[in-house]
Structures are given as C-alpha cells and as structure tokens.
Structure 1
C-alpha cells in the first residue's frame, strides 16, 4: 500500500527545528519541519537534506536571488531555508503522491511561506515530462538530497535532470544540479548513465560546512558517508 494511502488514524506529527547560523556571525534562521511518524520517504528529514541545507546556508551569498528548483523535495528543508534567506524557490515532488505535495505545502506554511506567493510547489515525477516541467521557466540551480536511494530510479532522475539542464538560465551561467548523496553501496554507479545522457559529475567540497557550521561535522552526518556532487551538461 502506498505511504500516501488514506487510513482511519491520523499519523503522529512531530515538529523538528533546525537552527542555522555561522561561526562568528549573529545572523540566524530557524526552520520548523513537521515530520509525520508513518512509513514513507517523504515525511522525514533525512541526514543528507541537513547537509545540503548547511551547504546552502554557509554559501548563501551565491544563492540569494537565484531561482532554485528542488526535486524530490520531501519535507523540503534545503529549499525552504533557501527561500527564507532570499532565493526564489520552486519545490517539487512526485505528481503521484498528492499527500506528499499537501505535506510540502504544510511545511512551507509552518515557516511563514505562502505557496504561490513566497514559494512555489509543483508536481514533478522523475522520468515523465509533463506540462509542469515545461512551465518551470528559467532556473539557475536544481537541488536534491538523497534522491539516489534506489538504483531503479537513477535513470529516471537523470532523464529529468538532463532535460532541465537545458532550461534557460536567469543569467549567463549554465544550470547546475547540486545534490547530496548518502553512500549506501559501493556497487551503485551512475557513470554509464552520465555518459548516455551527456552529463558530467564532479565532487564538491564540504570543507566550508566543516569550517563554518557551529555543529560538529561528524555529529551533523550521524556516522553516514555523505557526498555533495554537481552535475552539468557536457559541452
């Protein structure tokens, strides 16, 4: 049964709070994420989403005013944070999960972001180019956290990303796909798919998070191996 199936009992909701600040600075933002205690990937803030959010925070000067699309957003911690510090954000998750999209809207409103005014929420299913994909318009960055959790969806993700990387940008720089990835198996590889869809991937250092985040990095990653990667189109 789908994690979005209706049940007689309402799932328990827990509000998890994330405070973002930088060593040596006074500025601080708190994000409140309502998490639902029920099966499903999209109602819980995974460790990779925190790592991506911290990277966006410590590098926020380069993202302020940029148009950012988060795919597979779930509780949307990185995208909501980016919207709060001044980025123009579109949040997306699968069109086939209406309860997930409803919960994304709730997460936005919990942080005083009104969907359709302060932030946008759309349905976007990996591997399927519906009208919503063509209506996105110019973007500067695509972001995601822990979307590569199941090899069966890897190509669907990269098909969608490959299309979106051809989207006109808001400035002269090419669109970039930034995503955090938790290493769950050494056997998982996307090299052949990158080649197939004319993409290149490079590792992005998390040294800035280690240096500027007031939380110990090992505490932040909770013992997991998490990488930040960037995918762009080949020339």
Structure 2
C-alpha cells in the first residue's frame, strides 16, 4: 500500500555540514539537492502528494546571514529545477504565509506555481513561513468572520492543505522525534516515521524504506 500523501520534516542540514567541517550553508545546499532527488523518487514510487517543510514561521529567529542564504537557495532551486518539475508534470503549491517574504521572492514563487498550474501529475507542496498553530488560527478566524456552523469538512477547506489528499505519512529525518508545529491537524491519524539519516543523505532508497515500513503498519483510525 502506497501512501497518497507524504510529508517530510527535512532536518539535519546543519549537523551534516558540521560533521564535515563545512559552513551551514553547505548543508543547506546539499539539502536542496536532496529535495530534487526525493521529489523525483516520490513520483516514481507512486506518491500522489509530497509536502516538504522548508522554512517554518519560527525560522525567522535564525541569524540574518543564514536566512539570507536560505532565500538564495530558494531562488536557486526554482531557477535550476523549475524546468525539471514542469517536465515531470509536477503541480507545485505553497503552504504558509508568503506575505513576509520580499517582493522578488514572492514573484518568483508565484511565477513557479503558475508555470506548473496546468500540470496533471503528482503534487509538490512546499511549506514556507509555515506554522500549524498559525494555520489553525487563521482558518478559525476566517470561518468566524464568515459566520455559520463550523464542521470538520468546512474547517479543513479553510486550511492551506485543502487541495491536498488526506495526510497518510509524516517522515522526520536526523533522529529528532517531534512534529515541530508541522501539520498538526492533518497528522491526527497519519503514521509517523523517524529516521536517523540527516536530510542531505536522504534519497530515493531511504524514501522506499519508509514507504515499506508504512505498508507494514495496520491503520485503524481509532476504530479498534
């Protein structure tokens, strides 16, 4: 059984670089390459939707230089890999609040989304300036302003992930075992897999191992 929707908390770039006596930005660069490999592997292995936690709303607390490096890498990823995503039929979307980014970043991201909008293949959602608490509060406030009764279906339609399949599997790399404010509502009945592999070393084989572990699990959704 292949999960329809897989989300990954991409953790360990800094430790990967530190172990090699490299600057942190080297780890982030290697992490970008891992994104490319895993996105392609997910498509080849039959995953319908892949959500990647790229930049959290808490990441703004990092040093200004590191944030600048991350923004540069985002530009690099779109510039270097957009043609590949489009050619592979990937539908690209963003979950999170883009308003905090500079106009050039927003324009680049929105252009990439528009470029992939006509595609009919797997979905790739990138979480940028995303925090699950903020997402839930945003949805609640929006529905309160609209008025009327609120049920599960209506609430989920107000979340960033409304156009994605239900979340089946969350993978976190680097050995940490927490969700870090990521897809808290969506992960209510998702399977969780924590691996020791640092994100830059996570590849198609590691993804296949996680999918095999998912297939071995019995999902009961609280029914028994």
Which one scores higher on RCO, CA 8 angstroms, separation ≥ 6? 2
Q: TM-score, normalised by structure 1?
A: 0.34
Which protein is richer in helix relative to its size?
2
Which protein is richer in strand relative to its size?
1
Q: TM-score, normalised by structure 2?
A: 0.35
